[in-house]
Amino acid sequence: MENKDFFIIKKCDGLRGEVSVSGCKNAALPIMAATILSGGKTTLKNVPDLTDVRNMCEILGCFGAKITSTNKNEITIDTEKIYHTIAPYDLTCKLRGSFLVMGPMLARMKKVRLSLPGGCPIGARPVDLHLKGFAALGATITKGSGFVEVKCDELIGTKIYLDFPSVGATENILMAAVAAKGKTTIENAAAEPEIADLANFLNKMGAKISGAGTDTITIQGVEKFKGVKYSIMPDRIEAGTFMIASAITTGDIVIKDIVPEHVKPLTAKLLEMGADIEINANSIRVCAQRPCSAKDVKTLPFPGFPTDMQAQMMSLLTLSKGTGIVTETIFENRFMHVGELCRMGAQIKVEGHCAIVEGKRSLSGAKVSASDLRAGAALVLAGLAAKGETQVYDIRHIDRGYENLDVKLQNLGAVIERIERAPLQ
Ligand code: UD1
């Protein structure tokens, strides 16, 4: 049944305390897909308990993998037997990350057929770079009505230059190339920390990858992989969302179990905006004694400012002193939260890829809807700082990517309540 839960949020001044960040969704999904290569049992720790992760388990299950769970953040995936090479549309349509099974399935089974991921609220999100990479490795691509089939006799290492440093294409090509004959280089590769985490995992399984986390990745193909134990990296976007929760409520929050280097682009921006930040080995403290000063923000591939933090940063700018321009360069339609923030009294004008945000002294609570995961997080943040009561609907999007966001915020002093399955009025 479709989840119709919603959040009721009341204004809270000064969130305080410590919060532990969960495992990273965007690292967990490709790593789960990569277990297909192992042909054995892999135990993953620090796996976030999220809808997207559960859906990825179902997709692996439909290929024949057996998944067991000892606790909510640890899963064992046994891929000894893979029988099927087709994933049904009703599963793959639930998450775009499902396309990440293509590389490892091609490497192991020599063929795979998946539904083409459709557009999504934030943009068209094509997969041409993934497919060009597979073709360069020697695969043949057949597109049918709504699906794509990729086949090969064998994969042969080659040089691949990505027109754009796509995160998903880099991961998918990497997971195919680890089993290709000879050497592959991926140039203009995405350098996001999640790529390095995937490469660390693949190397532990037996792959020979160097340069992951930079724009040139070199892969020496190998024939055999083994099941391993691995702990997923912390979620830098969840960490960043709590950093902004502190700044927007003029709070003082210690965000624990993170890699501070991963949130550097946001740390730098918040410092510019006037927040006090203390960086420790595995944690970061964000303290804002007064409203932030507005600054301009432009999203870019890592180590630039992450597109996945754009919406949350926009919420902060709506309550900052002065005017900030947000430029979105990664996705073509990632301003769906603007209309909802304006319903709460925000002053934002969109011109093409830019949103001009005029900071105000206050927002007022309203009924708003999450159009996607990060837009949903942005509305929750705005609700924490808005006068009166905010109701955020369509929070199934938030549950796709944040583990217990409401409970974690409550522990920091927020007044946020999940109302279960109430119908929209
Ligand atoms: C991943 C993240 C997502 C994040 C995004 C950018 C996961 C599961 N999701 O998505 O949260 O917002 O990185 O950091 O890790 N593009 C093409 N052709 C392709 C592939 C991509 O033109 O074949 C374009 C996209 O339309 C988009 C841009 O490249 O405009 C970036 O997309 P990409 O880096 O691939 O994002 P995802 O891997 O889908």
Give me the pLDDT at residue 88, please. Answer: 85
The whole-number average pLDDT for the span 317-340 is 96
CA–centroid distance, residue 115 to ligand 1 (Å): 17
Q: Residues for the chain: how many in total?
A: 425
The whole-number average pLDDT for the span 396-417 is 96
**Is residue 361 packed enough to be buried (19+ CB in 10 Å), middle (13-18) or exposed (0-12)?**
exposed
| pLDDT at residue 290 tops 60 | yes
Q: What is the pLDDT of residues 80-106, one digit of tens each?
A: 999 999 988 888 888 888 999 999 999
Query: From atom 38 of ligand 1, which residue's Cα is the shortest distance away?
Result: 168
Q: Is 189 in the pocket of ligand 1 (CB under 6 A)?
A: no
The first and second tokens of residue 336, run together, are 């769906």
Give me the pLDDT at residue 28, please. Answer: 98
Q: If pLDDT is split at 50, 70 and 90, which confidence band does 424 have?
A: low
Query: From atom 22 of ligand 1, which residue's Cα is the shortest distance away?
Result: 126
Number of helices and strands in the chain (H, E): 14, 23
Q: If pLDDT is split at 50, 70 and 90, which confidence band does 246 have?
A: very high
Please state, in angstroms and rounded to a whole number, the distance separating the CA atoms of residues 369 and 159: 44
Give the chain's mean pLDDT.
Answer: 95
| pLDDT at residue 125 tops 80 | no
| pLDDT at residue 357 tops 60 | yes
Give me the pLDDT at residue 73, please. Answer: 95
Q: If pLDDT is split at 50, 70 and 90, which confidence band does 3 have?
A: low
The CB density around residue 295, as the number of other CB atoms within 10 Å, is 18
Does 57 qualify as catalytic in the annotation? no
Q: Is 53 in the pocket of ligand 1 (CB under 6 A)?
A: no
Among 15, 14, 23, 13, residue whose Cα is nearest residue 238: 23
Q: What is the pLDDT of residues 32-85, one digit of tens each?
A: 999 999 999 999 999 999 999 999 999 999 999 999 998 889 999 999 999 999
Please state, in angstroms and rounded to a whole number, the distance separating the CA atoms of residues 22 and 256: 10
Supply the pTM of this predicted model.
0.96
Q: If pLDDT is split at 50, 70 and 90, which confidence band does 123 have?
A: low
Q: What is the pLDDT of residues 147-160, one digit of tens each?
A: 899 999 999 999 99
Q: Name the pairing type of β-strands 415-419 and 389-393.
A: unpaired
Give me the pLDDT at residue 333, please. Answer: 85
Which of 62, 120, 342, 354 is catalytic? The answer is: 120
| pLDDT at residue 423 tops 90 | no
